[in-house]
Structure 1
Amino acid sequence: MDNSTAVAAHGRKTYQWAGAGDLNAFFGLMIDNIGVMILTTSLLVLGYGFPRDFVLTRMIPGTAVGVLVGDLIFTVAAFRLARRSGRADVTAMPLGLDTPSTFGSVILIIGPAFLAAKGRGLEATAAAEHAWFLGITMLLASGVFKLACAPFGGWVRRMVPRAGLLGSLAAIALVLISFLPLLDVAGHPVAGFASLIVVLATLTARWRLPGRFPGAVFAVALGCLVFYGMNLAGLGAGADGTAPSTLLRFALPFPMAAWWTWFATAWPEALGYLPVAIPLALATVVGGIDCTESAAAVGDEYSTGAIVAAEGFATLVAGGFGGVIQSTPYIGHPAYKAMGARAGYTLATALFVGAAGVFGYFDWIFFLIPKAVVFPILVFVGLEITAQSFHATPFRHYPAVAFACVPALAYLALITINQVLPEVGKPFDRLQPSTQHWIATATMLSGGFIVTSLLWGAALAHLIDGRVGSTVGALILAGVFSWFGVIHSPLPSGAIMSPARVVAELKTQGRTAATAGQTPYHWAASYGVMAVVVLILGALGEPPRPESAETPEGV
């Protein structure tokens, strides 16, 4: 008896696609997405100096459309599953903007490309358009990559150790998603920490508010009340920026013709950013597989390939309309199901977020809601990703997850250096030799840190498992990447090129003394030496026993 016959035999139930639980779920999913859109706009406008209207009318609409399309697809998928299974309690998969790739795209791709274009003499709007087209390119590449991965979900999970992939995500979560937004929260500590404690209590510690009121909504509302109350009392700093000029506006760019003209000449530059974009896309693919499994664990059996393909399609659509941030299934389907959510919350999120970007009322949300009161939600997301990274990893691989975080710490140090040096008025060539060497080393450790984290974590996880061949393979791949500057590039720009060109460029910039002994040749050789040592160890040593790796000695 097939599934449809069994359903018919037991009688079908009418799908209750909307209910009271959808309200709480909608606020949670919607605020997550709006928070990421605020983060994107803040980083670009306040962090890099992008023209605000350019971001709001060119980048945000397409980004919001990606959420619209993805959540509509997931809504339809819930209806189809309910019809196929005959169940009335099917919960739609949640989809939204991916927070790790938001930081990765803005801080490692779009922002640096904007500053580099301005350094070449382009005025702000032209530089913003160049960076925008580069962001579109990376988003389209991510969408194509996800669609290509959709039929091979199981293979992807087997090839990429969780310690490597989740370790790189934990690095982004701690350093970028939690720490950098926390600076904005601490910038207005009274309102920011009022919101933060509600977020930690309701979302992290799982306290329930009366009437199951959404914790994220209460946190933002309380923070806004404190923030504007202090302003009325003359104790606050006032709102950031200027109010939008219009109540509503329509903006839905379709930049493909202009983008194609740009891409015909700029593709070599775009190629250099793929080592950042593709690992971020890979993370969402594996995340989509995990989210599908978590949904199956509570009774909602979605097709893994279809879920990954849907997020890939939504990402492509976003890029086609000028978006720069990829969409992904969100962790937490079981929590939404426990709320009593069905498909109404994803439908409402799709319409609200999509309309906010296209019709412009997101401009007012960005102006009225202080970053200090909404960014605590990002702090929670960073903590949750970090906790999940360890929870979903075998105990014996915990050191690999921690090891994968180290390159991100170098990137954090580099951010601090780049913030301080211009202010103290000391260019690189006027610093003490020891300081130059320290900065050069931090630059190389942080270069391509997402890929470095993945490879370091994977190599150590394989080593812990006694898998010599896989460990050597990860180290050789790291050596090849360092040879071409995909990781550990000594150039501040992180450009990908041959070692000979890198050395020549270092001479031109006067950095040869600071990078002595740390050229791409040296980095590639270092990984080669590590691979040889592991091979010798595999031939002469005794691999660890699984039980010895699970229980640390002396604890």
Structure 2
Amino acid sequence: MKWFSRGDGEGFVVAFINNLVQLLILAPLCTGVLGFSPELIYGRILPGVAISFLVGNIFYAWQAMQLAKREGRTDVTALPYGISTPGLFAHVFLVMLPAKQLALAQGMADPERFAWHAGLVACFLGGLLEFGCSFFAEKIRKHTPPAAMLATLGGVGLGFLGLSFLFQAFAAPVVGLVMLVLVFIVFFGRMKFRGGLPATVVILAVGTALAWATGLAPVGGPDARPLAHLQVYWPVPVLGELWAAFSGGHILAYLSVVIPIGLLGVLASLQNIESAAAAGDNYPATPSLVVSGLGTLAAACFGSPFPTSIYIGHPAWKKLGARAGYSALNGIFITLVCLTGSMAALTWLIPAEAGIAIIFWIGTIIAAQAFEVTEQKYYPAVIIGLFPALAAWVMLIVKTTVGAGGATLDAALVANAHAAGAYLGGGFALEQGFLYSAMIWAAVVVAIVDRAWLRAAGWCAIGAGLALAGLMHSYALTGRDTVIDLPLLSWLTGQWTPGRSLFPAGAAAAGYALAAVIFLLAKFILVPRAEDEVA
């Protein structure tokens, strides 16, 4: 297999747009939500992002070449890699924003640096966690049904990559609908433009032109200064800052966020590796996760508070004909964007609406794959596995809407919603640890279809343990958001408040435990029935 093929150009553009949209989200969050200065964003955070991108993308390109050589193939596609979306939002809203608010409340001299330090600690610890878990990853993958892994990703594809961007497309229909039609013609209709023009380049150019014609661009309005930060920002290790961050008391305060987000990152990476295997590229889990963890550690050491992970979307890139070169090009060009300050110019020039249809297509392909490579008898398991991620996306929309309306998300609002028939409490419980619950419930249904009662009981026991530990279904209301609630960890670290329940998801844990008992008794109380027999 050659380093570069015809499909790598197309794959690179799609990967670049996908990662660019992430950066188009990251920069405004750092500016608008956290109030970080341009010097910190362009001089420290984005160069750190560049290092992490380069580490991962170059390795995964090399890994694809090695797999192709080992198996004598020319159609191996590298694992996609980039910033973890859950990690991005968690570190902004659950780590750095609370840290900055605390610093402001206590009258600290430099709240920006205090918040940045909290993000560096969270990022470094998350990288260590993924690195450590990588050595057990193959065992997890071996004992988890592929339908459970793929269904979980399918839900993310439908919700966070599908419905989310579909809403955005219909909010600006002149651009959004034209982009959807072009993407569907090219990728679902398997058509190409005359003259050999790369389809994704044409689509992005048309989207950008329509955005400028309809007033969606320039982003930031006529007063924006897109070239103000255009210069070279060399990556500089921030080990001194990282040491100061660890000695600043951030570790215990944010373990309750770092541990679940880190574990979710490991799980998501495993699911993406399984997705690649289903598409024909069977990568070993341990080295893949080791490098993903090292990429996150490199990000923290060079100033980025944002973790990286193996990315969703491998089957989409494979359908484009991308091989190894697209990954290397993606790492190089994202590095150039992050090191030259051109992120500000790109944000000004290209609105997100110009590229969202491509991301919508990626989400659709991910959801479709869960059915394409799964036996028909396991389709119910796949469908069950879609629901938790869809619920998490719906809850995100609810919380965003509540916050935008100036309402307070508290127990009274949840109780009133329940009385009206909208069970927000159940949705919030399902939202927390949704990657776990999606995989567990899909695996349980697979076991039920196979009448493997002991295996089903084992998955329910895992669910009971995760709920009891607070890693799943345990949430606390913060006024504008819900966060995972880990009072047991607070008790172990000496931060527990007397009178607070140690097991807020204890009822869910009891439910899983009782379900496990039912499965253990199933062999004795149930008998098979004929296909045409009424239950």
Provide the TM-score with structure 1 as the length reference: 0.78
Aligned residue in 2 for 1:418: 399
Q: Could you say what the CA RMSD is over the residues aligned between the two structures, in angstroms?
A: 3.8
Q: How many residues align?
A: 508
Q: What does residue range 119-268 of structure 1 map to in structure 2 within 5 Å?
A: 119-120=101-102, 122=104, 125-126=112-113, 128-130=115-117, 132-137=119-124, 139-141=126-128, 143-145=130-132, 147-149=134-136, 153=138, 155-231=139-215, 238-240=218-220, 242-244=224-226, 245-264=228-247, 265-268=249-252
Aligned residue in 2 for 1:66: 52
Of residues 312, 318, 326 in structure 1, which corresponds to 2:308? 326
What CA distance in whole angstroms lies between the structure 2 residues aligned with 1:505 and 1:19?
59
Aligned residue in 1 for 2:333: 352
Letter in 2 for 1:498: L
354-363 vs 424-433, which moves further: 424-433
| Structure 1 residue 309, shift from structure 2 partner | 4.4
Q: Aligned to 2:499, what secondary structure does the other structure show?
A: helix
| Structure 1 residue 198, shift from structure 2 partner | 1.8
* CA 494–344 in structure 1, closer or farther in 2 if over 3 Å, else same: closer
Letter in 1 for 2:486: I
Aligned residue in 2 for 1:116: 98
| Structure 1 residue 439, shift from structure 2 partner | 3.5
Q: What does residue range 124-523 of structure 1 map to in structure 2 within 5 Å?
A: 125-126=112-113, 128-130=115-117, 132-137=119-124, 139-141=126-128, 143-145=130-132, 147-149=134-136, 153=138, 155-231=139-215, 238-240=218-220, 242-244=224-226, 245-264=228-247, 265-273=249-257, 274-288=259-273, 290-291=275-276, 294=279, 306-323=287-304, 324-328=306-310, 332=314, 339=321, 344-422=325-403, 424=405, 426-427=407-408, 428=410, 431=413, 433-435=415-417, 438-492=423-477, 493-498=483-488, 504-505=499-500, 519-523=504-508
* CA 502–109 in structure 1, closer or farther in 2 if over 3 Å, else same: farther
Q: Note if contact 2:47-2:233 (Cα within 8 Å) is conserved in structure 1.
A: no
Q: Note if contact 2:430-2:473 (Cα within 8 Å) is conserved in structure 1.
A: yes
* CA 119–312 in structure 1, closer or farther in 2 if over 3 Å, else same: closer
What CA distance in whole angstroms lies between the structure 2 residues aligned with 1:407 and 1:303?
28
Aligned residue in 1 for 2:20: 34
| Structure 1 residue 251, shift from structure 2 partner | 4.5
Q: Note if contact 1:294-1:333 (Cα within 8 Å) is conserved in structure 2.
A: yes
Q: Report percent identity of matched pairs.
A: 21
CA deviation vs aligned residue, 1:55-103 (integer Å, no higher than 9, x gap): 4444333233222223323444566678x679896866253326xx31x
Q: Aligned to 2:487, what secondary structure does the other structure show?
A: coil
* CA 520–61 in structure 1, closer or farther in 2 if over 3 Å, else same: same
Q: Aligned to 2:303, what secondary structure does the other structure show?
A: coil
Residue 524, structure 1, aligned to residue 487, structure 2: no
CA deviation vs aligned residue, 1:148-169 (integer Å, no higher than 9, x gap): 24xx63x332222223322222
What CA distance in whole angstroms lies between the structure 1 residues aligned with 2:378 and 2:67?
37
Q: Aligned to 1:160, what secondary structure does the other structure show?
A: coil
| Structure 1 residue 371, shift from structure 2 partner | 0.9
Q: Note if contact 1:185-1:193 (Cα within 8 Å) is conserved in structure 2.
A: yes
* CA 19–399 in structure 1, closer or farther in 2 if over 3 Å, else same: closer
* CA 397–320 in structure 1, closer or farther in 2 if over 3 Å, else same: farther
Q: Note if contact 2:3-2:324 (Cα within 8 Å) is conserved in structure 1.
A: yes
What CA distance in whole angstroms lies between the structure 2 residues aligned with 1:268 and 1:291?
36
* CA 464–59 in structure 1, closer or farther in 2 if over 3 Å, else same: farther
| Structure 1 residue 485, shift from structure 2 partner | 1.9
What runs of 5+ residues in structure 1 fail to find an aligned partner? Answer: 1-14, 508-517
What CA distance in whole angstroms lies between the structure 2 residues aligned with 1:91 and 1:444?
40
| Structure 1 residue 497, shift from structure 2 partner | 1.6
Q: Note if contact 1:163-1:400 (Cα within 8 Å) is conserved in structure 2.
A: yes
CA deviation vs aligned residue, 1:475-514 (integer Å, no higher than 9, x gap): 122122222321121422322123996993489xxxxxxx
* CA 21–163 in structure 1, closer or farther in 2 if over 3 Å, else same: closer
* CA 494–328 in structure 1, closer or farther in 2 if over 3 Å, else same: closer
Q: Note if contact 1:26-1:349 (Cα within 8 Å) is conserved in structure 2.
A: yes
Q: Note if contact 1:59-1:132 (Cα within 8 Å) is conserved in structure 2.
A: no
Q: Aligned to 2:332, what secondary structure does the other structure show?
A: helix
What runs of 5+ residues in structure 2 fail to find an aligned partner? Answer: 105-109, 478-482
| Structure 1 residue 225, shift from structure 2 partner | 0.8
| Structure 1 residue 266, shift from structure 2 partner | 2.5
* CA 528–293 in structure 1, closer or farther in 2 if over 3 Å, else same: closer
CA deviation vs aligned residue, 1:329-375 (integer Å, no higher than 9, x gap): 77557966984x66554443332122211222233222211011122
Q: Aligned to 2:192, what secondary structure does the other structure show?
A: coil
Q: What does residue range 5-44 of structure 1 map to in structure 2 within 5 Å?
A: 17-18=3-4, 21-42=7-28
What CA distance in whole angstroms lies between the structure 1 residues aligned with 2:70 and 2:395?
53
What CA distance in whole angstroms lies between the structure 1 residues aligned with 2:387 and 2:498?
26
Q: Aligned to 1:272, what secondary structure does the other structure show?
A: helix
| Structure 1 residue 326, shift from structure 2 partner | 1.6
Q: Note if contact 1:78-1:343 (Cα within 8 Å) is conserved in structure 2.
A: yes
| Structure 1 residue 422, shift from structure 2 partner | 4.3
Provide the TM-score with structure 2 as the length reference: 0.81
* CA 412–268 in structure 1, closer or farther in 2 if over 3 Å, else same: same
Letter in 2 for 1:201: I
Q: Note if contact 2:54-2:331 (Cα within 8 Å) is conserved in structure 1.
A: yes
56-65 vs 171-180, which moves further: 56-65
